[in-house]
Structure 1
Amino acid sequence: MKEIKAIINAYDHIDPTKNKAALATVVRVEGSSYRRTGARMLITDDGVWVGGISGGCLEGDTLKRARLAMAKSEASLVTYDTTQDDQYQIGVGLGCNGVIDVLLTPLKIGDSNNPVEILKSCMNERRQTHVLLTIMRLEESWESLGAGQVVRYTDSDSLNVFGTIQFEIEEAIQEQLQKGKSGPKSFMLEGGVAMELFIEILPPEVHLVLMGHQYDVLPLARLVKEIGWRATVVANPQKVMQKLFATADALVAPADFDSILIDNHTAIILMSHDYKTDKYNLPKVLQTKASYIGMLGPRVRSEKIFNELAQEGIHLTDADMIRIHAPVGLDIGAVSPEEIALSIVAEIRAVFSDRDGSALRLRLAPIHERD
């Protein structure tokens, strides 16, 4: 999400009287690759780019090809094969051992239908999961469709542009939504015209709600913003550090907690350093849709809170205990507030990715799931 926001910001500062622009999007990955589908790079014809489609290996060649696409005003699909031992193949010797398809789409600056403008419209809306359909390849011209075109899926009617196969496409969309991942799909339009679509599932940014006002809130909020997540601090504004006002996306008084939009892409951290406050807040946050609830402090402290709540008639269910992470964070030997912040953020990323947070060298499967 951070990359998308940076691309939108750079796009908004392009002077169309001076520069042309194109968007490079990774639409298919087979095997291993540093970046996955959905990675983007905004390119202008003066050689400037924002974002990335690899670890720096393919950007130079993509820049040249994007300039050609801009000159022709025509989208193109480029395949980079790093599995072949061919000295003429870009990527040889990189050791990535993967095949990456990159779609290069020239942009009409200001056109509401260009891919960046569509991304912008998604970012400007209330938190939700968006579905974007990008035409990767079209065998021949068909109706008003063309390679590089992006269709935003909102309901069945938004698929009317695809004719009679709209229900087939919607079925594929629901399949990708269930998987929670993006991917390419092939379809056959009326008249036997072959089409490849990149079905992109674009969830909202991860949202951390930090409930506390002590000095260790600041390094956690800073790290959250650095990786492109959203940070909301729940605390008395008169008690927080001034630097926090410029770091967090929002600062909410405890009495206004219910005004915060909390969904299943939200994590809540109880870090007030006050036993009674955390005990009071735990039942409240369990009533939200937050997928992750972390409690700062030793295990004995959290177990005491659980026991006291049970004695008061507030019994935590098995589903509650799955969401609660106490003590919060991964076991990395964190000592300083900054290291503790790293431990917490790493565990949240692991939980949201359905991983166990162990060392990658112990993982027998590929780093990224493959179809």
Structure 2
Amino acid sequence: MEAYDILEAVERYVQPTVLATVIHVEGHAYRKQGAMMLLMADGSSVGSISPGCLEADLSGYVPLVEESQKPQMVEYDMRPADDFGWGETIGCGGLIRILLEPVTGELLVHLLAAKAALNRGEAVRLVRTFIEGYSDIRYSLCDALEGSSADCVSSSGSYVYTFRPKPRVVVFGANDDAIPLAGLALSSGFRVVIADWRDAYCTAERFPGAETIAAFPGTLLEKLKLTAEDYVVVMSHQFDKDAEFVRGAVKTSLRYLGIMGSRVRSEKLLDGVERPDWAHYPVGLRIGSEGPVENAVSIVAELIGIKRGVHANGGRSSSVASGLDVQGSRTW
């Protein structure tokens, strides 16, 4: 999650920084409203708002913003048909307004408070109120509205951004094929927890950047404290262990439950329990994937689709939608 990474950088870096935020987009753009990046005085950065075309130009504003200690608005208009500079380079054709803010004073305090809230698993809203254009801004931080899905809302006099905790992906099964899945999920902005009953498999060396928990399924479920915001992938390849974990997990409403293996095997795992709409099996998008890396791509693509609310199939996969025959021949 890029916003979380930016907050981590704000907390970590002591050098002067400038926060760049896309607050308005018209037409097509590489990144949508709400995209952010942190620009450091030494020329380094965290995050992105373009494929790399605008970053160099924006870095030129850093000394000006730092010297004035006032926010500044930068506009890139790539709509003209004869624009073979910005527009053709970025592949856009829209208008983008980017707010540049020195990360000091009130803004710094609120960003650090937002990071602390995310660490507690709480979503918060940062409200910017524009007093005189964009050069004078008042900041406030408040709890996120329940049921609100929009991360950013703008008007003529304010801009509101919601910082949300990283969504958690729990992977049950620490076999070798979970390694590329964990790495790809981490790089896609998820918080990853590897859960397995085998201590030797749950190590930081095997899963750098992920959390690990070693216990048998019943104890794991108690320790994990699954919530309605969690994504769970079951892939231990041990039928009895998978069955115990799945049957315990479905007692809690989840955001997503993906089960690796054929449809027939998954149906047997769920035998005797209610099958929720958020259970997906076989796990992952149907892209004809083979092997651990391609399977990881298909799984993380499905997770992203669920997170963004654009997943097409939704819920349990049918033999037609999943590309399986009626016997569920795909076994992964």
- TM tier, smaller: 0.7 to 0.9
* Structure 1 segment 273-292 matched on structure 2, within 5 A: 273-292=237-256
Structure 2 residue corresponding to 1:270, chosen from 234, 248, 253? 234
For the pair 1:138 / 2:131, whether they are aligned, the reply is yes
1:220-257 Cα offsets, whole Å, 9 max, x none, are 11211222311112212424164335342232423142
Bigger radius of gyration, 1 or 2?
1
Aligned partner of 1:129 in structure 2 is: 123
For the pair 1:180 / 2:150, whether they are aligned, the reply is yes
For the pair 1:153 / 2:142, whether they are aligned, the reply is yes
Over 3 Å counting, the alpha-carbon distance change for 1:289 and 1:244 in structure 2 is farther
Compare the two structures and name the one with the higher helix fraction.
1
1:193-244 Cα offsets, whole Å, 9 max, x none, are xxx2111122221211111132212221121122231111221242416433
Cα distance in structure 2, aligned partners of 1:81 and 1:2 = 25
Q: How far off is 1:28 after superposition?
A: 1.8
Identity %: 28
For the pair 1:299 / 2:246, whether they are aligned, the reply is no
Cα distance in structure 1, aligned partners of 2:57 and 2:107 = 29
Structure 2 residue corresponding to 1:332, chosen from 258, 281, 287? 287
DSSP 3-state at the match of 2:154: strand
Number of aligned residue pairs: give it.
Answer: 309
Cα distance in structure 2, aligned partners of 1:238 and 1:349 = 29
- AA paired with 2:150? G
Cα distance in structure 2, aligned partners of 1:149 and 1:114 = 12
1:317-354 Cα offsets, whole Å, 9 max, x none, are 5xx1x111011111111111111111111111112222
Q: How far off is 1:112 after superposition?
A: 7.2
* Structure 1 segment 1-371 matched on structure 2, within 5 A: 1-2=1-2, 4-6=4-6, 8-9=8-9, 12-15=12-15, 20-85=16-81, 91-93=86-88, 94-108=90-104, 113-114=108-109, 116-124=111-119, 126-135=120-129, 137-139=130-132, 147-154=136-143, 178-186=148-156, 196-240=157-201, 242=203, 243-244=205-206, 246-254=208-216, 255-306=219-270, 308-309=271-272, 314=273, 316=274, 320=276, 322-356=277-311
Cα distance in structure 2, aligned partners of 1:107 and 1:116 = 9
Cα distance in structure 1, aligned partners of 2:8 and 2:56 = 21
Task: Tell me how large the CA RMSD over aligned residues is.
Answer: 2.8
1:93-123 Cα offsets, whole Å, 9 max, x none, are 34412221111111227x6744543443333
Q: How far off is 1:6 after superposition?
A: 4.9
Cα distance in structure 1, aligned partners of 2:253 and 2:138 = 35
Unaligned runs of 5+ in 1: 156-172, 187-195, 359-371
DSSP 3-state at the match of 1:328: coil
TM-score normalised according to structure 2 size: 0.82
Cα distance in structure 2, aligned partners of 1:238 and 1:179 = 38
Over 3 Å counting, the alpha-carbon distance change for 1:7 and 1:54 in structure 2 is farther
Cα distance in structure 1, aligned partners of 2:109 and 2:18 = 10
Q: How far off is 1:299 after superposition?
A: 0.9
Cα distance in structure 1, aligned partners of 2:201 and 2:295 = 19
- AA paired with 2:136? A
Unaligned runs of 5+ in 2: 314-332
